[in-house]
Amino acid sequence: MEQWIYQMIEKTIDDQLEFRYYNLEEDTNDKWLWIKSDGGPDGGAWMGPIKDWSSHSVEYFKNVKKYDTVITAGANLGLYARMYAKRFKKVYAFEPEWLNFHCMSYNNPYENVIKFQAALGHEHTFCSMRRPTDLNVGMHHINELNTGTIPVVTIDSFNFQECDLIQLDVEGFEYPALIGAQKTIQKFKPVLVVERPSEDVLKFMKHYNYELQAKSGHADAVFIPT
């Protein structure tokens, strides 16, 4: 009975997934495990990030001084994490949604990519997730704190020994994630990439003497320490 249940779960997962092929930056591996429904009219979490990386990723690296450690959240299905893995010694990738995390792990079978099924925030707690649409699996976001089964952790709690770049694409939870990274930011002054920065995020940047360097087509804003 138990084996049958596991087989049914595996079949349910397999029915939701497919392999897609795209050679990004002449990658030696052009195969990606992806969620079938993702794509939609705007390309979803597939073509949008591919186009954005191809045209704007150079802005992320203009002022990176070392390539030791990058923190990326939400890592989604692992497209950016794989590209970071080619440049940085260590990639810490955070993705809370379970099926996204499954694909991200498959797409990044590299020793230098450390993967966490967790969200980033300003305190340690748990959360539940909301999936507004499966046409763009990059839009899943935290629904409610202090409930659910997904861990929420702070960047500072890891006591990183190095940090050169932090990228936050966490669907409106960027400010709490930055609050939870204040000590790390003060200590290492990494380049910060934040999607659609709110007024609170802009005030945070000003307080820590960061200035806007560039914006990408995908609404990422790149901030550097002055």
- Mind listing the pLDDT tens digit for each residue in 74-122? 999 999 999 999 999 999 999 999 999 999 999 999 999 999 999 999 9
Alpha-carbon distance of 118 to 14, in angstroms, equals 23
**According to the model, what pLDDT value does residue 12 have?**
62
CATH of 37-225, one of 3.30.365.10, 3.40.50.150, 3.90.380.10, 3.30.460.10: 3.40.50.150
Dihedral (CA of 30, 44, 70, 18) sign: negative
For the chain, where are the E strands, in sequence order? 17-21, 31-35, 69-73, 90-94, 113-116, 119-120, 125-130, 141-145, 150-153, 165-168, 191-195, 210-215, 220-225
In this predicted model, what pLDDT tens digit does every residue of 107-165 receive, in sequence order? Answer: 999 999 999 999 999 999 999 999 999 999 999 999 999 999 999 999 999 999 999 99
Domain assignments of the chain as residue spans, ordered by start: 37-225
Task: Tell me the longest C-alpha to C-alpha distance in the chain.
Answer: 62
In this predicted model, what pLDDT tens digit does every residue of 29-58 receive, in sequence order? Answer: 899 999 999 998 889 999 999 998 988 889
Rounded mean pLDDT, 197-205: 98
Asked if residues 112 and 91 have their Cβ atoms less than 8 Å apart, the reply is: yes
